[in-house]
């Protein structure tokens, strides 16, 4: 029975995402476990802190909100993420929930970038003025035909 538990924790540990520099405002948070919703898509994920079980973050795939989202990383960002290949990277943006879903916001200016090969991540600040720190989710509603 002990081997089964060990296997499970080793398997879970291989899923951790590591932030060498932490997350803005939560610099002590270096490891999170991404948790997908039951549908298995990466449109919305929870990032559960490994150190603090009471802390989790809701993140969204920005390309699901804004198809033309075009984050441009610096050379330093690529270096710290351990790749120069954009195909190794996934992007997520923080979502701040409000009482009314339409009043919830996402931060397109400071995405989390994950190297899904090495599981290294970092939160970056994009230089583009096109993206703000607080976009209402209702900005991304698709109009029905």
Q: Residue 100 has what pLDDT?
A: 81
For 23-51, letters b (16+ CB in 10 Å) and e give beeeeebbbbebeeeeeeebeebebbbbe
Whole-prediction pTM: 0.84
CATH classification of the domain holding 121: 2.30.290.10
Burial class of residue 59 in the structure, from the number of CB atoms within 10 Å of its CB (0-12 exposed, 13-18 middle, 19+ buried): buried
The answer to whether residue 145 is domain-embedded is no
User: What pLDDT, in 10s, does the model give residues 20-45?
Assistant: 999 999 999 999 999 987 766 778 89
Does 14 fall in a domain? yes
Note whether residue 120 is domain-resident.
yes
Number of domains in the chain: 1
Instruction: Specify if 41 maps to a domain.
Output: yes
Asked if pLDDT for residue 7 goes beyond 50, the answer is no
The domain of 116 spans 2-140
């Amino acid at each position: 029975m002990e081997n089964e538990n060990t296997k499970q924790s080793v398997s879970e540990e291989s899923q951790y995402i590591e932030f060498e520099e932490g997350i803005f405002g939560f610099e002590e948070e270096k490891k999170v476990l991404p948790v997908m919703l039951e549908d298995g898509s990466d449109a919305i994920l929870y990032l559960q802190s490994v150190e603090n079980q009471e802390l989790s973050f809701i993140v969204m795939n920005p390309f699901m909100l804004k198809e033309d989202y075009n984050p441009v990383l610096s050379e330093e960002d690529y270096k710290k993420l351990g790749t120069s290949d954009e195909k190794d990277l996934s992007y997520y943006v923080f979502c701040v929930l409000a009482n009314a879903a339409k009043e919830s916001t996402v931060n397109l200016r400071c995405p989390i970038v994950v190297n899904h090969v090495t599981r290294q991540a970092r939160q970056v600040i994009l230089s583009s003025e096109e993206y703000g720190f607080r976009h209402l989710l209702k900005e991304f509603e698709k109009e029905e035909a």
